[in-house]
Structure formats: structure tokens, C-alpha cells
Structure 1
Amino acid sequence: MASDDIDPAETPVAEWVDRLAQAKGAPGGGAACGVMTGIAAGLLGMVAAYTDDDPEARQAEQRLSRTRRLALDAAEEDGVRSAAFGAALAMDQGPDRERAVRDATVVAVASALDVGRVAASLLEEVRLLADIGNPHVEADLRVAVEALRAALEGTNHTARANLDLLARHRTADDHLDPKVAAFERDLVDLAAKRAECTRIAAGWSSE
């Protein structure tokens, strides 16, 4: 871990949020999406734990414990990458800065999408727990879905902003077309997951 970064899994919540509020950008929005994903995984884990005597819930609880750690690892890694991104932007104008910004922006988009993929993996658990979960903690399940939806929406905003920045720093010979196309496909996939979250939440709202 970079010396200027903090691990959300090992840092008191108040301290982490205070750091988020500073003009550092590390952690930033991408890391916040990772933490929101961790919150969603934690709440889903709680619903699974409250669903007694169901072997599927026990298995989900174990998977969600791993996903929660993956989400916080992704949040920490995004903070590290955000620090490198900020350092590139702070360089003096010139060809070296252009190249550094381009490279750091590609990494930043990939980092946001890493968070998004972890978040998207939680939809399977949402479907399962919406079906078998203890109804007494349905409110917590709903909060989990809202946190997940926010994480996916935030991932989209972060990745899109970085892709826009990348477009302004590209050159004709940078060979980034295949990578950008892959990023766009990933964003389409995440949009489908986000839409599913929205449909689930809308279904609850209509009850």
C-alpha cells in the first residue's frame, strides 16, 4: 500500500471519511464505490446470517464474506491508483506529462471497472436472498440493493469521466482502440446490472 493511502478495512470509518473529504483524490469516488460495494456485501451477509437453517443461505454467507474483502481490497487499490493519477496530472506540461496522463487514465478506468465487476457479482446474491431471505430483515436487503445500485452508478460516472479525459490525451499512434472498446463493453455489461438493481428497487416501491 502506498504511504499516502489508507486501507478502508483497517481504518476507522470517521477517519476514512475525513480523508475522503480532503483535496487529495485518494481515496476518491472510485474508492467510495468500493466501500459502498463492501457495505452492500456486508448487509447481504447479515440477511444470509439471519436466514436460519437454509444451506443455500450458509453458502451465500461464505461467498459474501469473500466478496466483502474483495470490495475493500478494490477500494484500497483504487486509492493507490488515484494517487498515481493525481501525480501524473500534476506534472509539468510536455510530452512526458501527456504520456503519463494517458497511461494513468487507462489504469484509472480499469480500476473503476474492477470495482464495478465486484459490485456486479452481488446481483446473484441479491436474487437468491430476495427469494429465501428472512423477511424480518427485508429492510436491510433493500438498503443493500440501494448501496449496490449507488456503487454501480458511481462506477459508471467515474469510468466515463476518465474515458472522456483519456479521449483528450490520445494520439493517433497510441494503439488504445482495442482497450477502449473493451472498456465500453464492460460499461454496457455494468449498465445491465445497474438496470436490474433499479427494477428490483422499483418492484419493492410498488408494493
Structure 2
Amino acid sequence: MERRTTADEGIGAWLEALASTGPNPGGGAAAALMAGVAAALAEMVVAYRKTPDAPEAERRERALAAFAAAVREAAPDMADRDTEVASGFAEAESRSEPEERAAAKREASMAAAGSSAALGRFATTLVPVLRELAEDTGRLMLADVGIAAAALSAATRAAALNICADLARAEESGRADLIAAVDELDAATRELDAVAERVRSQLTPASGGTPGATARP
């Protein structure tokens, strides 16, 4: 029987699987799809923006749209990769010998931590796009930029949490590359939270005034 991928599943069926007691999909796959949601929203905002009549600006808009589309399209595959790595935990539990089982669990945990770091790096590639959109999108679509930033912040925060959980499970605290990945993801999360807050401040009416507007409708 051919294995079904995340892209093959309807949203309802995927959420039902996520809610079940089965091992997969889990939090890592959910983080990947949150990054996909953020990318889709960014792509939509770019499509709606009115581009200045200048070749350089048009090329920039096409580049932003293409980048957001690439992240959106890759998100289901990233979810599947995380799910595949997470299956190592079930395999480890099946080992009969305690020492073998402990070693397999540690190996699975480190593999999962590496997968979470890769997923987090994948998500952070969209940060510059959202930063630019937040600075140059009009009020009509600005809330979608903020929602995208909030969704991507959830993805980067989740990836960092998963790395920490996997390192704790493996009783491993000395992997400098993974610790650095957590620091990088925390920094990206703070920036994304700031983008979402900036959007909110632009949309919140001042006392006795009207919401601020940015450059484009």
C-alpha cells in the first residue's frame, strides 16, 4: 500500500490524526504546517498588493511571491520528514533489551532534535519577507501579515521547544550546534512577535483618532 503524505490528506483528516493517540503526526509536523500557513498568507498579501509601475519593484514583488510559494509548497514535505524521524521512537520502544532500547531512544531523540533544528531553519527563511511586508503593506491586508507573523512565530517557538525536549530525552546538553539553533530560533521568534505587535499597533485606533496606514492598500 502506498504511503499517504501530508499533501494527500484533507485538513479535517489530518487534524483528526493529530488529535488521536497515535504517534504521528505530532508537534513537529504541526510546526511545519504553521510555517506553511504563514507562507500562504504572505503569498496572498503579495498578490493583492499594488506594485509601483517600475521594473525593479515588479521584479521584487515576483521574487517575494515566488519565495513565499516555495515555502508553502515545501511545508507538507517538511511535516512528513519530521513524522518519519519521529517514527524512530516507536522502533526504539520495540527493542527487547533494556540497553539496546535506551541506546535506540537516545539515537531517535538526537535525530528528532536535528529534524526540529532543520524545520526551524526552514521556517526562519520567511522572516525577511514578513518583515518587508509589515513595513510596506496597506491597512486592508496588514492584519494578514500580522497573522502570518504570529503563525510563523508559533512554528519557530515549537521547533525550539522540540529541540529542548529531544535533548532532555537524550540526556544530552553538550551539542553546541543544537543549542545554537535554539538561540537562533528564540531570536527569530522575538522578531516575529515584534512584527505582529507592530502590525497591531498600526491597526489599533489611537485615542480619538483612526488607525494608522502604511504605504500600500
- TM exceeding 0.5: yes
**Aligned pair 1:186/2:190, yes or no?**
no
Match of 1:30 in 2: 28
Deviates more, 1:190-199 or 1:29-38: 190-199
**Closer, same or farther: CA 90–24 of 1 in aligned 2, 3 Å:** farther
2:45 to 28, 41, 47: 47
The letter for the 1-side match of 2:184 is: D
- Count of residue pairs brought into register by the alignment: 195
Rounded to whole Å, the distance in 2 between the matches of 1:61 and 1:206 is: 26
Structure 1 position 89, deviation (Å): 3.0
Structure 1 position 132, deviation (Å): 2.8
Match of 1:99 in 2: 103
Query: What does residue range 10-21 of structure 1 map to in structure 2 within 5 Å?
Result: 10-21=8-19
1:142 to 143, 146, 162: 146
The letter for the 1-side match of 2:95 is: M
Match of 1:173 in 2: none
Which ranges in structure 2 are unaligned for 5 or more consecutive residues?
52-56, 203-217
Contact 1:113 1:159 in 2 (8 A): yes
Contact 2:143 2:199 in 1 (8 A): no
The letter for the 2-side match of 1:40 is: A
Contact 1:8 1:72 in 2 (8 A): yes
Rounded to whole Å, the distance in 2 between the matches of 1:90 and 1:125 is: 44
Structure 1 position 201, deviation (Å): 2.0
Query: What does residue range 39-118 of structure 1 map to in structure 2 within 5 Å?
Result: 39-53=37-51, 54-55=57-58, 56-118=60-122
TM-score (structure 2 length as normaliser) = 0.83
Percent of residue pairs identical: 28
Rounded to whole Å, the distance in 2 between the matches of 1:192 and 1:30 is: 19
Rounded to whole Å, the distance in 1 between the matches of 2:94 and 2:27 is: 19
The letter for the 2-side match of 1:91 is: R
Rounded to whole Å, the distance in 2 between the matches of 1:202 and 1:142 is: 8
Rounded to whole Å, the distance in 1 between the matches of 2:114 and 2:78 is: 11
Larger radius of gyration: 2
Which consecutive aligned stretches of 4+ in structure 1 deviate over 4 angstroms post-superposition? none
Q: For residues 136-174 of structure 1, what are the alpha-carbon distances to aligned partners after superposition, in whole Å with 9 as ceiling and x for unaligned?
A: 21111111011011111111111111111011xx6xxxx
Deviates more, 1:77-86 or 1:183-192: 77-86
RMSD of the alignment, in Å?
1.8
The letter for the 2-side match of 1:102 is: R
Rounded to whole Å, the distance in 2 between the matches of 1:119 and 1:69 is: 12
TM-score (structure 1 length as normaliser) = 0.87
